[in-house]
Amino acid sequence: MAIRCVSTLPARSPAFSLLEQEARALLTRLENIRPFALRQTMVPAAALPSSQLSAIDRYLIEGRRKLRQLVQNFVVWLEGPRGRSSQLEPAHRRFRLLRLQFNSFLSQYDIFADALSQRSEHETGVWLAGLDALAADALSLNGNYYSPPGLICYLDRGTGAAIRRARTRLPGGGASPVAIVRVPRERMIGSGIASSLVHEVGHQAAALLKLAESIRPLLHGLQRVGGEEGAVWRYWDRCLPEILADFWSVASLGLTSTLGLMGVVTLPRYFVLRLNIDDPHPVPWIRVRLSCAMGRTLFPHSQWDRLEGIWLSYYPLQNADHRSRGFLALLEKAMPGLASLIAQHRPRSLGGASLKEALGTAARQPAQLTDIFQSWRASPARIYEASPTMVFAVIGQARAQGAITPEEESRIFSDMLDYWALRNALAEIPGSTRGLARRVIG
């Protein structure tokens, strides 16, 4: 669509003329920013639900409309009486502000473009749609405690994941209409991808339930004892958002979560044992052990002791510097109490239910996961009836017990991601998912 601009009157100077030309050039570039619904090429199974894509496009279209109006107003002002009587510096300052707003809009566009462009890659796009299904399942709770936002996954380099939560501020202002989760490409495809993804989903869930705000007063009370014990609870307070996200992951995935976390923080000993009290993440040595403590609280079983023993064999405490060693020992002592406090916490947002109850951990005990896996061995098609988080919990537990190989695990998850993506794409067609199930466990 052509943009109509006010005719240029005789310029007072080349500097003012250049400002007008550059402002009009902004308009031409702005018109090249088209809705994603007109630009994206992907197979239907890889596509976002129409509601999510529409929400993104509506947000960006409104942002483009406002920016176009600002630029047009500037051109009109520049050629009108006030602009023509203005000094160069105020006019240039207004143009500089427009450029900043233009680049902020492009930053917002690129955030969504990065997440959507991979949907056109062969296999990757469908797997990402499958991960969207996993993320949505990890965020859902029985009880209608909140209205879950849309979640979009994409891959990136590195070993860590990250989330831009829905309804949080984007560059330049405005709230994101969906949550965008960056997951590490190096984890595709194994059970570790679920550990990273569900941890990030835990950040979104904690924000929706206001968990940090609810738990912090309890931690503040424990800090009042002062001394070393008070310092321990101040440390937990500082790391609370990451701890809550880890708890959400363990509660959803069981042992699969802790194994995935170990994969992320398996680093040179200096970094694993280095205590930095300003880091919002718990020191890796204690973070894995706290994950085991949460597992013991939610899913009592000797497997947590075995896994913790393996971790300690990799990173003996005596390798820590003397100054850190004492504080790490204090954190270790406080871990069971912290894990229990979180598991039994009953925030108002859960209507009287504890976190442990709301997350349905009673149905994911280790013995139950083993029994479910055996039932899938006997009747492979039954795996398609399970939720995505349950599939990752069961298969991850089976691999930890040596019941399947890493190669089998990867094949199962590849097939299941395809299935979830296709199931969601066909969900509006009654009976269309019938017959999708195929033998995935030999």
Strand 179-184 and strand 151-156: the pairing is parallel
Cβ neighbours of residue 167 closer than 8 Å, sequence gap 6 or more: 149, 175, 176
| pLDDT for 392 | 95
Question: What phi and psi, each to the nearest 5 degrees, are found at residue 175?
Answer: -105, 135
Question: What are the angstrom distances between the C-alpha of 70 and each of 30, 37, 56, 93, 366?
Answer: 12, 25, 21, 14, 59
Mean pLDDT in the chain? 88
Token pair 């994941």 is at which residue? 161
Q: Say whether both 216 and 331 belong to one domain.
A: yes
64 burial (CB, 10 Å; 0-12 / 13-18 / 19+) is: middle
Q: Say whether both 317 and 371 belong to one domain.
A: no
Q: Say whether both 83 and 217 belong to one domain.
A: no
User: Which of 65, 94, 118 is at the close of a domain?
Assistant: 118
Question: What phi and psi, each to the nearest 5 degrees, are found at residue 152?
Answer: -120, 130
Residue 180: inside a domain: no
DSSP string over 171-219: TTS-B-SSEEEEEEGGGTTSTHHHHHHHHHHHHHHHHHHTHHHHHHHHH
DSSP string over 246-288: HHHHHHHHTHHHHHHHHHHH---HHHHH---TT-SSPPHHHHH
Q: Say whether both 226 and 322 belong to one domain.
A: yes
Residue 298: inside a domain: yes
Q: Is 154 helix (H, G, I), strand (E, B) or coil?
A: strand
Question: What are the angstrom distances between the C-alpha of 435 and each of 253, 372, 422, 426, 432?
Answer: 28, 22, 12, 12, 8
- HSE, side-chain direction, 13 A CA sphere, residue 141: 28
Residue 195: inside a domain: no
Provide the domain count of the chain.
3
62 burial (CB, 10 Å; 0-12 / 13-18 / 19+) is: exposed
**Distance of alpha carbon 278 from alpha carbon 283, whole angstroms:** 10
Token pair 């050039």 is at which residue? 25
Question: What are the angstrom distances between the C-alpha of 112 and each of 109, 140, 152, 218?
Answer: 6, 23, 9, 38
Q: Say whether both 303 and 254 belong to one domain.
A: yes
Question: Residue ranges of the alpha helices (H) in 34-165?
Answer: 36-39, 50-79, 81-84, 88-117, 124-139
**Distance of alpha carbon 442 from alpha carbon 185, whole angstroms:** 27
Residue 172: inside a domain: no
Q: Say whether both 277 and 341 belong to one domain.
A: yes
| pLDDT beneath 50, residues of the chain | 1-11, 434, 438-442
Question: What 3 state SS string does 382-405 have?
Answer: HHHHCCHHHHHHHHHHHHHCCCCC
Which tokens in the block code for residue 196? 């990273």
Residue 46: inside a domain: yes
Q: Say whether both 277 and 405 belong to one domain.
A: no
Residue 134: inside a domain: no
Q: Say whether both 344 and 269 belong to one domain.
A: yes
Question: What are the angstrom distances between the C-alpha of 192 and each of 21, 92, 115, 256, 376?
Answer: 53, 52, 20, 7, 21
**Distance of alpha carbon 15 from alpha carbon 243, whole angstroms:** 56
Q: Is 224 helix (H, G, I), strand (E, B) or coil?
A: coil
**Distance of alpha carbon 166 from alpha carbon 151, whole angstroms:** 8
The conformation of residue 169, written as its DSSP 8-state character, comes to B
User: Nearest to residue 114, comparing CAs of 148, 157, 149?
Assistant: 157
Q: Is 164 helix (H, G, I), strand (E, B) or coil?
A: strand
User: Which of 336, 358, 380 is at the close of a domain?
Assistant: 358
| pLDDT for 436 | 52
298-356 pLDDT, tens digit each: 999 999 999 999 999 999 998 888 888 889 999 999 999 999 999 999 999 999 999 99
Contact 303, 400 (CB under 8 A): yes
Strand 162-164 and strand 179-184: the pairing is antiparallel
**Distance of alpha carbon 242 from alpha carbon 346, whole angstroms:** 19
Question: What are the angstrom distances between the C-alpha of 229 and each of 160, 278, 290, 338, 347?
Answer: 31, 18, 17, 13, 25
Q: Say whether both 244 and 344 belong to one domain.
A: yes
User: Nearest to residue 135, comparing CAs of 194, 85, 89?
Assistant: 194
Residue 256: inside a domain: yes
Q: Say whether both 268 and 328 belong to one domain.
A: yes
Q: Say whether both 303 and 390 belong to one domain.
A: no
| pLDDT for 185 | 86
User: Which of 66, 95, 118 is at the close of a domain?
Assistant: 118
Structural domain range at position 233:
210-358
Residue 80: inside a domain: yes
Q: Say whether both 336 and 218 belong to one domain.
A: yes
User: Nearest to residue 246, comparing CAs of 279, 186, 200, 278?
Assistant: 200
